[in-house]
Amino acid sequence: MLDINECDQNPCQNSGTCSNTQGSFNCNCLSGWTGTLCATYVDECVVSPCMNNATCTDTEGAYACLCHTKWTGKNCSIENHCFSSPCSNNGTCNNQPTGYNCSCQRGWTGEKCTLDIDECNNPRPACMNNGNCTNTEGSFYCECPVEWEGDTCETDVNECLSTSAPCMYESTCSNTKGSYSCICGSGLTGRNCESDLDECLTAPCLNNGTCNNTVGSFNCACTRNWTGSMCEIDLLASFAPFSGG
């Protein structure tokens, strides 16, 4: 016997799926629709799924419950212990079957997040690198040593980039973690190359020349017949061939 494939005519409505059978066909309806051809709309609210006097709103293929404040969950069947917003200082309330608990924001503790955490009294100091810690309600702040900066004094200050660069007389500045060092030019010494090196202490002037110390250098006042930066040149020897005889 010859079977007609009714599905060729798309008999199922509202996006129902058609399957052909011997002598007939079936429609498999999307949720929210029923009937042989999926032509009948189902109102999910008819069966009153929303509990505790909630308002039911029928939607296509589903429903939504608008719960009263003391109830929660898809069907408003779960008691909402968070309805009075019991967690302070922007803490998050977590509803539980027999009560609630609070997830507190940073800086707060206690059952209802009402207690300040004293960050300055922690075993691990809140301010790094010997910063001075001051506790405040819900937070804290640090006063950092000059070598460090940032909320918790965690960042090294690059002293070499400061407008008042510490290394003097154009000596080379090298930043380090928590400090800096200066590489002094010749004739200078001290942490910031601020001190002149007294070269005269090493008696650099030869042949009874007099040493004059200067900032960053020195010079020699030579005795008669000697010259050169260290009085090392004998004028008589140099010019002897040309001097009168």
Residues that bind Ca ion (CB under 5 A): 116, 135, 140, 156, 175, 180, 196, 213, 218
- 71 or 218: CB nearest Ca ion: 218
37 in Cβ contact with 16 (< 8 Å)? yes
16 in Cβ contact with 29 (< 8 Å)? yes
> Please, which residues have CB within 8 angstroms of residue 167's CB and are 6 or more apart in sequence?
160, 173, 180, 182, 183, 184, 192, 193
Q: Least distance in Å: CB of 223 to Ca ion? A: 21
Secondary structure element (H or E) that encloses residue 239, with its range: helix 235-239
26 forms beta bridges with 19
* Cα separation, 52 vs 63, whole angstroms: 16
Residue 65's identity, in one-letter code, is C
- 114 or 135: CB nearest Ca ion: 135
87 in Cβ contact with 104 (< 8 Å)? yes
Q: Least distance in Å: CB of 141 to Ca ion? A: 10
Q: Least distance in Å: CB of 231 to Ca ion? A: 17
Q: Least distance in Å: CB of 88 to Ca ion? A: 14
Q: Least distance in Å: CB of 86 to Ca ion? A: 21
Q: Least distance in Å: CB of 85 to Ca ion? A: 22
- 140 or 226: CB nearest Ca ion: 140
- 58 or 156: CB nearest Ca ion: 156
* Cα separation, 49 vs 217, whole angstroms: 97
Closest CA to 49 of 75, 73, 80, 79: 75
φ/ψ bin of 89: left (φ > 0), alpha (ψ from -120 to 50), beta (otherwise): left
Token pair of 5 as six digits: 């494939």
- 40 or 132: CB nearest Ca ion: 132
- Other beta carbons within 10 angstroms of residue 17's beta carbon come to 12
- 116 or 194: CB nearest Ca ion: 116
Q: Least distance in Å: CB of 122 to Ca ion? A: 10
- 124 or 224: CB nearest Ca ion: 124
